[in-house]
Every structure is written in C-alpha cells, then in structure tokens.
Chain A
Amino acid sequence: MSSAKTLLEVCDVAKEFDVSRPWLNRVLEGQDKQILKAVDGVSFTINRGETLALVGESGCGKSTVARLVCGLYTPSRGSIVFDGVDMAKVASDELRGLRKRFQMIFQDPYASLNPRWRVGKIIAEPIVSHGLATTRAELKARVGQLLTQVGLSPLDADKFPHEFSGGQRQRISIARALSSNPEFLVCDEPTSALDVSVQAQILNLMKDLQREFGLTYLFISHNLAVVSHIATRVGVMYLGRLVEIADTRRIFTRPLHPYTQMLQSAIPDLKMTGKQRTPVAGEVPNPLNPPTGCAFHPRCPHANERCRRERPNMIEHPESGQVACHAVEEGRIDIKIAA
C-alpha cells in the first residue's frame, strides 16, 4: 500500500484517555473506570507535497490525531508510518533524526511561544537542538533568513513575543517550524485564533512556503472556507472516526456522507441563493458513551436498523475517495450536487 509517493501512513490508529475519577473516589462511590475514545480507528495516507485537511466539530478528535502524528501522544492502537519508518518501533536516537523532518504549528499564537524567550532564541531552538548550525554567526544568519521568509524583519530577533500581534506571532511559529528544514508540517488550527484578514495572509504564506520548499501539510481545521482554500484532500471526522475522505473538489461539490452533506449545506454564503438547507439536527453525542453501530445514526435522516447495529467500514467510492456509510453503500441516498 505504501508507495514512494506516500509520506505518512496512518493505519487504524486509536487513542483512549482514562478520564475516571481518582482511585479512592471510584472505590468509595462504586464507579467503573471511564475511558474516553478520542480517536477510534482512523486510517489515512498523505502523499508528498499535498495538503490533507481534517475537519469536524469540536471534540471530534482532530487535534488528537495531530498530536498522535507528532508523537506528543502515543497511540493506544494502530501504527503511524512516516516515510516507511514505523514511529512506534524506531530507536530513540533514530527518532531524533526523524523529528527534524516534521514540525508542528499550534492553534494559540499567545501560548505557543515561550514568553520569557527572545524571538531569535525561540526560532533557533530546533536548529540548536538538532545541531544544524556550527557557529554563532551562522545561526544568526539562518534566524534572520527565516524571519525574512515569513515576512518579518531580522531585527525582530531581539524582541520578546509580547511585542507582536497574533498574526505576527503565528509567523514566528511558522519560522520556528521551518527552521529544521522539515518536509512535513502538522498545523493544528493555525488560523482559528486570528482575525479574518490576517487568516488569509497566514494561509497565503503557508501556500507560498509549500510551493517553495515542497512541504506536505496535515491541516486541522473546523473552518470549511479555510479548508477549501488550502487543502488538496479533505477528511471529515465525526466522534473520533473518519467518515469520508476525498479530493477537496469532490467533498465540496458532491458530498456523499450525510454528515458531510450537513456540514456542506451549513456553510453560509453571501449571495442569498435561497438554496434548500438541511437543518443541523441534534447534538454531538457524549464521546464517553458513543452510539452503537454508526456513530452518526442518531442524527442521520437515512439511518435504519443496520446503521444502529453495525459499524460501517470505509469503502472505496468509484468516483474518488472513501466513505463509511451503509446508506451510500446500499445506494439509499440520492447524491445532491451542490451548486
């Protein structure tokens, strides 16, 4: 399955968190352990040079996937293979070598930079940590070059993070991520804390950098407009599972899964087309106690007995991508073509 094109292969990955109360309380109050399945069997691949976006509501596990891929969490099940190397099985010194090949950009530009460090030191951290510069002058030149690349001035290296705006801080974050010459960037909602006008600047910067350095992105977002702007492929997540994954164009014009259709019809438009919208019915169920069968069945207009009983598997769709839905498989849904 893995080919030369594939950079990252995530196979049936799951992450469970123990959210039970302390042991003594459990014993005294007679409660069981509570396990939260944040991610429950997610598989996808990312090819070199493309941008895969993961979208979904809050709490659907998309940030957990990002942290699993970066090694901040260890998966409870499944494997993550980066460029042919299984991350769970490599020796720790080899992992250090791998680490400089992928970096992460975080959501909150106010929390992702150490407030006590000067910008130059922040950006230099990966370079120093991986021993990529030999002299102080070389290090300084590299930091200046990175700052210029993200649209800041080399003189900004002497300032502290609090002297910058949110958008500028996110640029510093990007400069830090780029400083170890990575091939792969995991971006965990990098624009959601920014103003709309600044969002566009950051997205364009990321696109330019992708073109210049041949970067591969895993882009986590809940903003479909942002996703349509930057992604080559889109994966839709619901309650810790991937429900549909396909080319961006296909997702936005011919969504197959009922949940994707619901999301797609909820995108506001400025033209007042008066198009028919499927109202978003119901709430996201409690992930501590997910529904049986297909996790989406309580909110799905097409659900039947099989959906309540049997968990759907990802099936290849003849057109493009994969979808996990019994109704699509059985042809019970008439596919709407969005304008």
Chain B
Amino acid sequence: MVDLMRRFFDSDIWHSFKRNPLVIAATIAALICLFAASLAPWIAPHNPFDLKTLNLLDAFSPPAWIAAGKSEFLLGTDDQGRDVLSTIMHGSRVSLVVGICAVFLSMVIGITLGLISGYVGGALDAFIMRVADIQLSFPAILIALLIDGVARAVIAKENHDQVAVYVLIFAIAASGWVQYARTVRGSTLVERNKEYVQAARVIGRRSLAIMFSHVLPNVMGPVMVLATLHVGTAIITEATLSFLGVGVPPTQPSLGTLIRVGNDFLFSGEWWITVFPGLALVILVLSINIIGDWLRDALNPKLR
C-alpha cells in the first residue's frame, strides 16, 4: 500500500495534476459536491422531505443576504417552505447516483459487447456494430424517453414511483453503451493480433479467459477517460429528463426536477428557487468535464 502510494506520487499523472490549477479547482469542487451529496441526510441544515418540519409561512423566503431573507435559510426557500440548500444537497445525491450507476451499467454492457465484437469478429461483429450504428442515429434523449414511455405503460402507476430511478438508470445506460462498445472494439482489434494474445492461445487458454484477463486490462485506458466524461453527460441527460417531467418522481427530486419546479416561479421574481439548483448542476458537470478532459490529455502519451 505504501509502495502504491509512493508510485502514485511519483507518477507523471500526479506531476501533471500539480501543475494544473484549473484541474485542482475542479477536483476540489467535484469533491465538495460529492461530499455534500453523499452526506446530505446528516449534514443538510433541514430535512426538506420531512413534512412535519415544513412551515408554509417560510415559503418564498429569499436568500439570507437579501433584506427579507431569514438567516436559517441560506439560499432561501421554495413555494412549500423547503430550504433550497438542503434540496440541492439531496437533489445532487439523486443526480450523482443516477449518473454514476448509468455510466457503470453502460460501461459493463459496452465493454462486454465491444470485446466480443472485436475478438470474435465475423458475422457477430457485424451484427453488434450495425445495432450500434442504428442506436447512434437516434439522440440519447429520444431513446431514454422511449424506454421511459414503455416502462410507464408496462408498470402500474402506483408502483412506478418506486422503480422510476431504476428505469431512468437503465434508459440512460441503454443510450450510452455504444461509445464504449466502439472504443473497446477498436482497441481489441489491435490487441488481439499482438503476440501476447497468440501466446495465450498457444498455451490453450479459452477465448473468454483471453478476452477478460489479457485484452481487457489493455483496453481500459481510453474507457476510463470516456467514463469520466460520460458521468457529466449522464447527469445532464438525467436533469433534462427530470426537467421534462419523465425522470425521478417529485418525492425524491433530482437537480433537474428542482430546476423545473423553480422555473415556474422565475417570472414572478423568486429566481433563487431555480438559479441555485442550476448553478449546482453547472458546477458539478463542469468540474467533472474538466477532470475528464485533463485525464484524456494526461493519459495520452503523444501529448506529453
């Protein structure tokens, strides 16, 4: 473990990280978001979902630094008197969980199909890649809407709220696997002809073992970069779907839901209800994207 730490602090990546103030700032911002989101039930100043603590007299209270604001609601309250800061913390929790789970699921699907496609080749490869092409010709949002629509038709309304998050994760994952499959297939085509793979075949390893123990570790580099950037995209997709009202149910709002709810009050002057969740979304996605972009450059030996 100590050895691993020393190797990390000695690596090119760490040196590149130290010289890049923007990335350091983005990492700190992302960590704060992650921290606030994951610990929301314990560190949030209020519990916005506990109806007993809500008071309608607190509704539409502006942020604390404005004259009419109350000091206990730092970023103001919404139409039901819920503390905006607390809803943001709970909301980014939902957003991050959906984003990360969706990325993980599309990684698993994409990597498996890409490996099989590249390693086995032939008709199977052609079939998987044509499916990917077809999928790419539809926008991700459309596919997610389609899956969500089907799920709504199949699942009874009273049960739908419970499974909504899973449907959302699956919908976003199903629209994102193509990138992974293509990237992995491309790298697999290169790796499978290298002599270490042939050596494993001469030894008599089975194809599946060669795919996952030999080829997979050598194609993971670009996949990790893709995954980091994809977390940002997935969070945006989730926010878009929730904004359109087909995402998570209002009982567990995500950042997208909060922005939609607040949007109704924008023209009546209660701007804080929608602007702060929007700002949180921008900071979260922007910092993830900055980290992803830097990672792509740092891991690319040609740009060093």
Contact = CB atoms under 8 A, between A and B. Distances in A.
B224 to A, nearest CB: 14
Interface stretch (A112-120, A147-155, A198-206, A270-278): A112-120
Interface in B277-291: none
Given A114-B214, A114-B218, A115-B218, A103 B195 contact: no
A70 B200 CA distance: 12
B201 interface: yes
A115 B214 CA distance: 9
A156 interface: no
Contacts of A130: 203-204
A72 B198 contact: yes
B205 interface: yes
Interface in A69-88: 70-72
B202 interface: yes
A111 B194 contact: yes
B199 interface: yes
A104 B199 contact: yes
Contacts of A106: 195, 198-199
Contacts of B218: 114-116
B65 interface: no
A265 to B, nearest CB: 34
B196 interface: yes
Specify which of B194, B195, B218 lies most central, judged by the most chain A CB atoms within 10 Å of its CB.
B195
Nearest to A122: B196
Specify which of A114, A117, A126 lies most central, judged by the most chain B CB atoms within 10 Å of its CB.
A114
A180 interface: yes
A107 B205 contact: no
A108 interface: yes
Nearest to A176: B199
B208 to A, nearest CB: 13
Contacts of A176: 199
Specify which of A67, A72, A111 lies most central, judged by the most chain B CB atoms within 10 Å of its CB.
A111
Interface residues on B, range: 10 to 19
A102 B201 CA distance: 12
A284 B205 CA distance: 37
Contact of A70 (B194, B202, B214, B217): B202
B196 A114 contact: yes
Nearest to B197: A114
Given A115-B218, A116-B218, A129 B196 contact: no
Contacts of A96: 204
B196 A100 contact: no
Specify which of B196, B200, B205 lies most central, judged by the most chain A CB atoms within 10 Å of its CB.
B196
A311 interface: no
Contact of A72 (B196, B201, B205, B217): B201
A222 interface: no
Interface in B240-254: none
Interface in B206-220: 214, 217-218
Contacts of B214: 114
A96 B217 CA distance: 25
Contacts of B199: 104, 106, 112, 173, 176
Contacts of A95: 204
Nearest to B205: A129
A73 to B, nearest CB: 10
Nearest to B216: A116
Contacts of A117: 217
A308 interface: no
Nearest to B215: A114
Contacts of A102: 202
A113 B196 contact: yes
B198 to A, nearest CB: 6
A207 interface: no
A129 B202 contact: no
A99 interface: yes
Contacts of A100: 204
A180 B202 contact: no
Given A114-B218, A116-B217, A116-B218, A125 B195 contact: no
Interface in B96-143: none
A125 B198 CA distance: 13
A144 B266 CA distance: 72
Interface in B174-204: 194-196, 198-204
A108 B217 contact: no
Contact of A107 (B195, B203, B217): B195
Contacts of B205: 125, 129
A103 B202 contact: yes
Nearest to A130: B204
Contact of B200 (A107, A116, A125, A180): A125
B196 A111 contact: yes
A116 B194 CA distance: 14
A126 B195 contact: no
B195 A72 contact: no
B202 A72 contact: yes
Contacts of A113: 196
A116 B143 CA distance: 37
B298 to A, nearest CB: 18
Nearest to B199: A112
Nearest to A116: B217
Contacts of A67: 198
Nearest to B217: A116
Contacts of A111: 194-196
Given A115-B218, A116-B218, A126 B198 contact: no
12 contacts: A70-B202, A104-B198, A104-B199, A112-B195, A114-B196, A114-B214, A116-B217, A117-B217, A125-B200, A173-B199, A176-B199, A180-B203
Given A72-B198, A112-B196, 12 more contacts: A95-B204, A96-B204, A99-B204, A103-B203, A106-B199, A108-B195, A113-B196, A116-B217, A125-B200, A125-B205, A126-B203, A130-B204
